[in-house]
C-alpha cells in the first residue's frame, strides 16, 4: 500500500516555503491538503474505481458549495473558503480532481502528448493557483505549465515501479515501450535493461525540452518571494534530472540528497536574484 500520510516535507520540491510571503502560506497549505486528500482517495487500495470517483465527486460538490461538508470532505470546504476569500478561479482546484478521477479509473497514456495532456490537469493547476494567489500576470501560465509538467513527469519516473506494482498505473508512454519491444511488465524487474534505460533517457530528453519552455518563468514573476521559490524549484529539478540520468529507477528510488537540496537552494536563490534584475529591466523601465 502506498504511503498515505505524506506531508509537504516529503515532497521533491518546496511547498509554500519561507521564501513566500507569510500571509499567503496558509492558503498554500490548504491547497496542498486539498490535493493530498484527493490523491489519497484516488490511491486508496480498499476502494473500487467507482467508489473512488464517487468520493471525488462528493469532494467536488463541497468545493462548489453544492453539498454540505463532513469530516471526510473538510479539506474541500477549507479550499472553498480560500477561493471565496481570494477570488482565485475554482478551476485551479476542480481541474486537479479531474486528473485524480483519471487515476482512479486507471487511464493509460499511449503517447507523450497524452501524458502532457494529463499533466494539464494533474500539475498545471498547481502552478496557476500559485501565480493567481500572488496576482501575477497570465503571461506566466505557459512557462509555469511546462515547469509543472516537468515536476509531475519526474515524480512519475521516480515512482514508476511502485505505481505499477501497487496501483497498476503506467505513466510511461505505451508507444515508447512498444518501440523498444517492451510492455509495462518491465516495471516489475529489479534492474533496467538497455531498452528501459533508453526509454528513461528519452523521457528525460523530453523533460529537458519542457524545462527550456519553462526557463523564462522567474524573470516574468513580479513577487520576489515567489520568484525565488520558483528558481529554487527549477534548480532542484535540474539536479534531479542528473540523478535520474545516472540512476536505475527499477533498482531503487532515485531522489535528491541533502547536498542536492543545499546546493540547489543556493543556486536557485542566486538565479532568482538575477531574474529579479531581468524583471526590473523588462517591466519597470
In a domain, 123, yes or no: no
How much is the pTM?
0.91
pLDDT of 6: 57
Residue 54 in any domain: the answer is: yes
Predicted pLDDT of residue 42: 94
**Overall domain count for the chain:** 1
Question: How far apart, in Å, do the first and last CA atoms of the chain sit?
Answer: 55
- With CA atoms as reference, report the closest residue to 242 among 273, 267, 270: 267
Q: 3-class SS at 5? A: coil
Report if residue 242 sits inside a domain: no
**Would you write out the chain's pLDDT as a tens digit for each of its 285 residues?**
444 455 555 566 666 677 788 899 999 999 999 999 999 999 999 999 999 999 999 999 999 999 998 988 999 999 999 999 998 999 999 999 999 999 998 888 999 999 999 999 999 999 999 999 999 999 999 999 999 999 999 999 999 999 999 999 999 999 999 999 999 999 999 999 999 999 999 999 999 999 999 999 999 999 999 999 999 999 999 999 999 999 999 999 999 999 999 999 999 999 999 988 877 777 765
The helix/strand/coil state of 221 is: coil
Give domain status of residue 179, yes or no. Answer: no
Q: Classify residue 284 by its DSSP letter.
A: -
Range of the domain at 32: 23-105
Please report, for residues 72, 98, 127, 217, 245, the alpha-carbon distance to residue 194 in angstroms, rounded to integers and kept in the order given: 46, 35, 35, 35, 13
Give the pLDDT of residue 11.
62
**28: its cell numbers:** 498554500
Q: Is 58 part of any domain? A: yes
Is residue 75 a part of any domain in this protein?
Answer: yes
| Residue 207 pLDDT | 98
Residue 271 resides in a domain: no
- Residue 107 contacts by C-beta under 8 Å, 6 or more apart in sequence? 118
Cα(144)–Cα(239) distance, integer angstroms:
19
**37: in domain:** yes
Amino acid at each position: 500500500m502506498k504511503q498515505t500520510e505524506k506531508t509537504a516535507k516529503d515532497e521533491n520540491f518546496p511547498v509554500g516555503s519561507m521564501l513566500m510571503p507569510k500571509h499567503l502560506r496558509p492558503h498554500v497549505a490548504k491547497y496542498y491538503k486539498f490535493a493530498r486528500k484527493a490523491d489519497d482517495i484516488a490511491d486508496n487500495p480498499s476502494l473500487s474505481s467507482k467508489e473512488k470517483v464517487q468520493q471525488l465527486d462528493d469532494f467536488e460538490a463541497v468545493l462548489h458549495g453544492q453539498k454540505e461538508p463532513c469530516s471526510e470532505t473538510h479539506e474541500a470546504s477549507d479550499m472553498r473558503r480560500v477561493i471565496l476569500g481570494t477570488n482565485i478561479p475554482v478551476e485551479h482546484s476542480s481541474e486537479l480532481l479531474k486528473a485524480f478521477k483519471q487515476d482512479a479509473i486507471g487511464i493509460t497514456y499511449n503517447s507523450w502528448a497524452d501524458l502532457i495532456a494529463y499533466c494539464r490537469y494533474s500539475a498545471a493547476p498547481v502552478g496557476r493557483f500559485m501565480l493567481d494567489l500572488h496576482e501575477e500576470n497570465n503571461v506566466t501560465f505557459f512557462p509555469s505549465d511546462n515547469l509543472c509538467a516537468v515536476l509531475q513527469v519526474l515524480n512519475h519516473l521516480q515512482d514508476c515501479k511502485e505505481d505499477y506494482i501497487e496501483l497498476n498505473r503506467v505513466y510511461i508512454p505505451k508507444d515508447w515501450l512498444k518501440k523498444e519491444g517492451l510492455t509495462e511488465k518491465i516495471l516489475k524487474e529489479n534492474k533496467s535493461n538497455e531498452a528501459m534505460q533508453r526509454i528513461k533517457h528519452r523521457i528525460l530528453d523530453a523533460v529537458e525540452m519542457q524545462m527550456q519552455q519553462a526557463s523564462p518563468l522567474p524573470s516574468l514573476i513580479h513577487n520576489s518571494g515567489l520568484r525565488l521559490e520558483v528558481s529554487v524549484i527549477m534548480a532542484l529539478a535540474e539536479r534531479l534530472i542528473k540523478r535520474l540520468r545516472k540512476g536505475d529507477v527499477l533498482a531503487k528510488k532515485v531522489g535528491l540528497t541533502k547536498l542536492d537540496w543545499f546546493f540547489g537552494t543556493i543556486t536557485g536563490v542566486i538565479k532568482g536574484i538575477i531574474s529579479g534584475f531581468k524583471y526590473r529591466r523588462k517591466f519597470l523601465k
